[in-house]
Amino acid sequence: MGKVYLTGAGPGDIELLTVKALRVVQEADVIIYDRLANPDILKEAKDGCEFVYVGKEDSQHTLPQEEINEVIYQNALKYDNVVRLKGGDPFVFGRGGEEGIYLYERNIKFEFIPGITSAIAVPEYAGIPVTHRGITVSFRVVTGHESKNKEHSQITWENFKSDDTIIFLMGLHRLKHISKKLMDIGKSKDYPVAVISRGTTKDEQTVIGTLENIWEKAKDLPTPALIIVGKVVNLREQLNWFQKE
């Protein structure tokens, strides 16, 4: 019986892979990977390593989570070193916990390898710090994709009244709704928002706007994309570095 490494692949730029993740990828007998994990990472695997794609679109999962769990488990019965490679960090809307519990219940050994999450790194490449002294004392990372079978919103919008930075993952298709909700709780229509698409990669695009106009400006950007709302967005004017290179 093998061991499963539930591994964060980082946000896109292959150099943001951790040294530990690189080591387990190089030692893997099988790599089970997502759409969001940079496929160039697979080139680091040894000869004969097997690759299993269980890609996920933002909201439609190619394989239901239950099946992904089973694929990981079956591979752990077959191989010594199983790497489950996931975009960003396994615990930030990555369902890493669910996969770990599934393995725990079946007596399979596992390890988590944290990854650099897109929630922080993607704004960072766009020159937007998630916290900044004198501007914001905290940041929140929120899912923009709420479960469709819930009648009521799971998000407590009233929580967002302060000037905390808010980062929405999986929210591009809900951008209009999100902006409206934030204006409904009293944020000004001029409040700064950025949408960053394919962050940390050569295809990165960043669009800056306000709660009132961001939807119109950013709605056609390609995914994956995240939304960052807060006064820190204004710092991009001075801190943008990646797209200047």
Under the binding rule (CB under 6 A), the answer on residue 193 touching ligand SAH is no
Which one among 129, 192, 199, 209 touches ligand SAH, defined by CB under 6 A?
Answer: 199
Which residues pair with residue 4 across a beta bridge?
82, 110
For the question of residue 1 being annotated catalytic, the response is no
Q: Does 38 bind ligand SAH (CB under 6 A)?
A: no
Let me know if 161 is a catalytic residue.
no
Token match 């930075």: residue? Answer: 165
Q: Which of 17, 24, 85, 87 binds ligand SAH (CB under 6 A)?
A: 87
Q: For ligand SAH, which stretch binds (CB under 6 A), given 19-27, 105-113, 149-157, 197-205?
A: 197-205
The one among 69, 165, 200, 210 contacting ligand SAH by CB under 6 A? 200
Pick the closer one to ligand SAH by CB: 95 or 231: 95
Q: Which uninterrupted H or E stretch holds 82?
A: strand 81-86
Amino acid letter for position 87: G
- How far is 188 from 20, CA to CA, in rounded Å? 44
User: Does the footprint of ligand SAH cover residue 12 (CB under 6 A)?
Assistant: yes
Using CB under 6 A, which of 84, 174, 187, 198 touches ligand SAH? 198
Q: With respect to ligand SAH, which residue has the nearer C-beta, 50 or 239?
A: 239
62: left (phi over 0), alpha (psi -120 to 50) or beta: alpha
For helices 96-104 and 65-78, what crossing angle results, to 10°? 50
Residue 61 contacts residue 36 (beta carbons within 8 Å): no
CB of 16 to ligand SAH, least distance (A): 10
Of 46 and 176, CB closest to ligand SAH:
176
170 is catalytic: yes
Task: Give the number of other CB atoms < 10 A from CB of residue 11.
Answer: 27
- Who's near 93: CB < 8 A, 6+ residues apart? 141, 143, 169, 170
* Tokens matching residue 118: 């897109």
**Residues near ligand SAH (CB under 6 A):** 11-12, 36, 58, 87-89, 92-94, 117-119, 122, 169-170, 196, 198-200, 224-226
Residues assigned a catalytic role: 34, 56, 170
